[in-house]
Structure 1
Amino acid sequence: MALKLTRRGFVAGLSCVALPATGWATAPTKSLRPIARGAEFTAQAQGGIESLVRRSGIQGHVVCAVADVKSGLHLEALNGKESLPPASVAKALTALYAMEVLGSNYRFETRVIATGPIKNGVLKGDLVLQGGGDPTLNTDHLAALAAAVKSKGIREVRGTFKIDDSALPMVASIDSEQPDHLGYSPAVSGIALNYNRVHFEWKRGSKGYSVAMDARTEKYRPEVHMAKMKVIKRQVPVYTYADRNGVDNWTVASGALGKGGARWLPVRRPAAYAGDVFATMMRANGVVLKKGVVGRSTGGTVLAQRQSVPLSKILYGMLKYSNNLTAEMVGMTATAARGVRMRSLKDSGGAMSDWAAQRYGMTGTRMVDHSGLGDASRMTAVDLVGALVKVRKTGVLHPLLKPFPMRDAKGRINKTHPIKVNAKTGTLNFVSGLGGFMTAADGTELAFAIFVADVDRRARIKRADREVPAGARTWNRSAKKLQQKLIERWGALYGS
């Protein structure tokens, strides 16, 4: 465990001096008299912050920082300028980026375009399904678009059926270091469907297993043709993936299936997936068209369009459920809106980092994506706290952050805990982050960031074992306990 104290103005763990926001290392000109407090305070503050971290027994690096929201004064930091992977805490920065660049009322748009005239129910031209970067598009929405096209009197498309995903660069996987079958690391492009996940279901019968791959919602369950599954008699590996002739080919080990079950698998070819399902919906409406191909739109007549809900609602859901695809698509859309050329997700993450440095002084932060899934991203606690203090005055981020539950000594949620927290959590194997706002018992509001990581241990995990590696859950529980103790310490020290 690495501990390097950078806090100032703290006397024996029992009193504190708030430092000027412009410099964490500036010593106070006067020493303040320690304030007498009760046993609860002593228990929370005993031994100082570095002692608290040591007693936690956590293996790895711990960095944290806290500041007063109202005054902007920085109060305390431990290794505050040391950068660590932020995990999904990065989504808080992505939310700021998207809101400030695109605006809270921005809506993504998916369109269906005809490139030729319609005569006697026949479209003599191409039909284009054009993605607009909407991460929330689902099968129900495509069904509504298909019905709208039918209402134009079309019963046949003579030209090509195209799927235009060029609004954003194509990314095969959010993090290529993740195992192929993990649904939280799908492909990214200018069109997405059902968060770029396909539903795999299996049932064991007298003659073996029956399997289904579909794009289900509560209303529809269209079978897909661009993803196929084959059950293989083996124990490991559980899944294998290969792209063969434009089809996502999966195999699964029979020894891992049991009697039946289901799970979502990532889609690696989003345009083909959306085109597959849209074609099914068009045929269900009696419209004849050819198999879809990926291609750019060259203009034409808009036959139907679908707008998403406002960006603010999308970001609220992104932060609540920590959806990686949403973070990547809104982040890349913001980068595109700034006129920044990008060829990859890393380019867009770098563009957001440059923006954060200019806008909020986050010079110690460098992101390789917008979700925090890539462990090569780095963020400092001081950087995040500085941004949180600045943005709190605008009221932009706080309403989007969900409450963080404080717990009792037995690990149960304590709804009557005197400290209230609204924050973004972040979890990778042997990486845990928490950043946001806390309100102490007396109403004092603080901005804080805590990053804990055992980077060396994470680096030793084999790619195939990254879903649930040995020891990761126990380590994560310890990290979360430490985070709560730090929050309670700050509530005791500064909530008076």
Structure 2
Amino acid sequence: MRYRFLFACLFLSSVGHAGPLPAEIDSALQQAGIPDSHIGLVIQPLEAARPELAWGEAHSFNPASVMKLITTLAALDSLGPARTWKTRVLYEGEIARGVLRGNLILQGGGDPSLTLERFWLLLRELRARGIREIRGDILLDQAFYQIEAVDPGRFDQLPLKPYNAAPAALMVSQNAVALRLAPEGNKVRAALEPALAAVTVHNQLGLDDQACNGWQDGLGLSLDNRALRLMGRYPAACGERTLWLNLLPPDETVAEVFAALWRELGGAHKGRILRGLTPATAQPLFEFDSQPLALIARDINTYSNNVMAKMLLLNLGAERYGPPATWDKGERAIRAWLTEKDLKFPELVLENGAGLSRIERISAASLARLLAWAPRSPAYYAFAASLPVLGQNGTLKRRLKDSPLAGQAWLKTGSLNGVRNLAGYVLYAQGRRKVLVLLINHGKAEDAAPVQEALIRLAIQPPPQ
């Protein structure tokens, strides 16, 4: 079911056009070298029954991260903006005079918001309950998710990129580790934060006097047998910078972070840290809640967090069909929700709900229907607030930031090689809103920024009378 292609073709046969493309859009497409047959767009005032502009709207496109709109809206509407997920802390044995003689169990519950800082709070709670030493093993229970292991480089052969981390029921900071870089004399200082005992850093970076623009392009990174090798040049003009990396499997990252933070908190541990199931005899100690779903959805959409979106899809499936969470349950939950809301998207192809996929598909018309339906949901304001604001934050922070249009559009972005998409809302006359969807799938899509900006300008104009 996960790889089911409905109408297994890129384009549907019925293609609607509401008149010719406006001259400014047509001109921008020609300058970018993108044929109009490779775009799908819809502009429609929320109060209108029909679009004021539509082109290629029935075509089926790769949505990239615009797919997150379906995942987050389905979750917010189904579960409510205040929904949280719990990491349970349990123990075996006895606790006396600050010493746990037995095993500690961390049972993952699919918390997408368990950052390094929040994991520190969890461990501080453990210390606050009087435990300073653990004489036993730390068991990491990942049973809430039942998904196959995947090669982190499978999608784009870039396994160290944080978006390629595999989701896990218990993971810290979506498995991302910070690599801090900074000039130090005539060298480059490089350190992992937190330090990972299992990874050694071999720093061969040189310092140069180039401009900081595109600084990551000058770096060469590889991980071989737990040796992280840094090569290339780093501009002194960059000062201190952070590069986020996916270095270890989630279990190992949790183990490393636990050991480091527990020591910082003055705790001691004599035993192993390993994956394991929660024993039936384990006793509950406390539960640690995630951030509310409204904030999780904001991080997913504003910053286009792929790992969090995948976790949300898995959690949605477990909520509707019971644990353990699987990809199949997540897809079925999305489709069931769409059916309940009478949102029929026959061309929809789902893989992971994040858009980090070569096979996911949807049309501009279906996305426009979703966005036009959203104001009916009690969760609409949380959903709308989760979108990046043009020229102000997230993936749109630098787009048209010095233009009068800044702050007048809330749009989810979606980018892959050959894909540049936008979908969301724009503000126009008298505080009213329009739905805007623009999907571009073409080899020259990376040159599509002027097309997107021309469409945003056009959409903010009052509709024709």
- TM-score (structure 2 length as normaliser): 0.79
1:204-215 superposed matches below 5 A: 211-215=190-194
Aligned to 2:137: 160
Between 1:99-108 and 1:161-170, the stretch displaced more is 161-170
SS in 2 for 1:448: strand
From the superposition, tell whether residues 172 and 3 of structure 1 become closer, same or farther in structure 2 (CA, over 3 Å).
closer
Q: Structure 1 CA distance, aligned partners of 2:432 and 2:123?
A: 53
Q: Structure 1 CA distance, aligned partners of 2:50 and 2:407?
A: 20
What CA deviation, in whole Å up to 9, does each residue of 1:223-251 have, x standing for no partner? 22243333579999923335x5xxxx243
Aligned with 1:305 (options 287, 290, 301) = 287
Q: Aligned partner of 2:388: which letter?
A: K
1:200 aligned to 2:169? no
**Gaps spanning 5+ residues in structure 1: where?**
14-44, 216-222, 458-471
SS in 1 for 2:321: coil
1:73-472 superposed matches below 5 A: 73-169=50-146, 171-172=149-150, 176-178=154-156, 179-201=158-180, 211-215=190-194, 223-231=195-203, 238-242=220-224, 249-256=226-233, 262-283=242-263, 284-299=265-280, 300-339=282-321, 345=327, 347=328, 350-351=331-332, 353-355=334-336, 357-358=338-339, 359=341, 360-394=343-377, 396=380, 397-405=383-391, 412-417=400-405, 420-441=408-429, 443-454=431-442, 457=443
Q: Structure 1 CA distance, aligned partners of 2:324 and 2:39?
A: 33
Q: Structure 1 CA distance, aligned partners of 2:12 and 2:407?
A: 26
**Gaps spanning 5+ residues in structure 2: where?**
1-10, 207-216, 393-398
Q: Structure 2 CA distance, aligned partners of 1:418 and 1:255?
A: 37
From the superposition, tell whether residues 446 and 495 of structure 1 become closer, same or farther in structure 2 (CA, over 3 Å).
farther
Q: Structure 2 CA distance, aligned partners of 1:166 and 1:282?
A: 24
From the superposition, tell whether residues 132 and 228 of structure 1 become closer, same or farther in structure 2 (CA, over 3 Å).
farther
Measure how far apart 1:391 and its partner are. Answer: 1.4
Measure how far apart 1:275 and its partner are. Answer: 2.2
From the superposition, tell whether residues 52 and 251 of structure 1 become closer, same or farther in structure 2 (CA, over 3 Å).
closer
Query: Contact conserved, 2:428 with 2:462, CA < 8 A, in 1?
Result: no
SS in 1 for 2:164: coil
From the superposition, tell whether residues 78 and 3 of structure 1 become closer, same or farther in structure 2 (CA, over 3 Å).
farther
Measure how far apart 1:195 and its partner are. Answer: 2.7
What is the number of residues matched between the two proteins? 426
Query: Contact conserved, 1:195 with 1:325, CA < 8 A, in 2?
Result: yes
Query: Contact conserved, 1:169 with 1:189, CA < 8 A, in 2?
Result: no
SS in 1 for 2:270: coil
From the superposition, tell whether residues 286 and 182 of structure 1 become closer, same or farther in structure 2 (CA, over 3 Å).
closer
From the superposition, tell whether residues 342 and 381 of structure 1 become closer, same or farther in structure 2 (CA, over 3 Å).
farther
Aligned CA-pair RMSD: 3.7
Measure how far apart 1:56 and its partner are. Answer: 5.1
From the superposition, tell whether residues 333 and 146 of structure 1 become closer, same or farther in structure 2 (CA, over 3 Å).
same
From the superposition, tell whether residues 7 and 493 of structure 1 become closer, same or farther in structure 2 (CA, over 3 Å).
farther
Query: Contact conserved, 1:110 with 1:129, CA < 8 A, in 2?
Result: yes
1:14-53 superposed matches below 5 A: 45-46=22-23, 53=29
Amino-acid identity (%): 22
- TM-score (structure 1 length as normaliser): 0.74
From the superposition, tell whether residues 350 and 482 of structure 1 become closer, same or farther in structure 2 (CA, over 3 Å).
same
Q: Structure 2 CA distance, aligned partners of 1:91 and 1:107?
A: 19
Query: Contact conserved, 2:318 with 2:330, CA < 8 A, in 1?
Result: no
Q: Aligned partner of 2:77: which letter?
A: E
SS in 1 for 2:359: coil
Measure how far apart 1:99 and its partner are. Answer: 0.9
From the superposition, tell whether residues 389 and 53 of structure 1 become closer, same or farther in structure 2 (CA, over 3 Å).
same
From the superposition, tell whether residues 494 and 445 of structure 1 become closer, same or farther in structure 2 (CA, over 3 Å).
same
Measure how far apart 1:317 and its partner are. Answer: 2.4
Max radius of gyration: which structure? Answer: 1
Query: Contact conserved, 1:112 with 1:145, CA < 8 A, in 2?
Result: no
Query: Contact conserved, 1:419 with 1:441, CA < 8 A, in 2?
Result: no
SS in 1 for 2:129: coil
Q: Structure 1 CA distance, aligned partners of 2:177 and 2:183?
A: 20
Measure how far apart 1:386 and its partner are. Answer: 1.0
Query: Contact conserved, 2:132 with 2:268, CA < 8 A, in 1?
Result: yes
From the superposition, tell whether residues 206 and 298 of structure 1 become closer, same or farther in structure 2 (CA, over 3 Å).
same
From the superposition, tell whether residues 207 and 317 of structure 1 become closer, same or farther in structure 2 (CA, over 3 Å).
closer
Query: Contact conserved, 2:60 with 2:361, CA < 8 A, in 1?
Result: yes
What CA deviation, in whole Å up to 9, does each residue of 1:423-470 have, x standing for no partner? 21112222111111223335553223110011xx4xxxxxxxxxxxxx
SS in 1 for 2:310: helix
SS in 2 for 1:361: coil
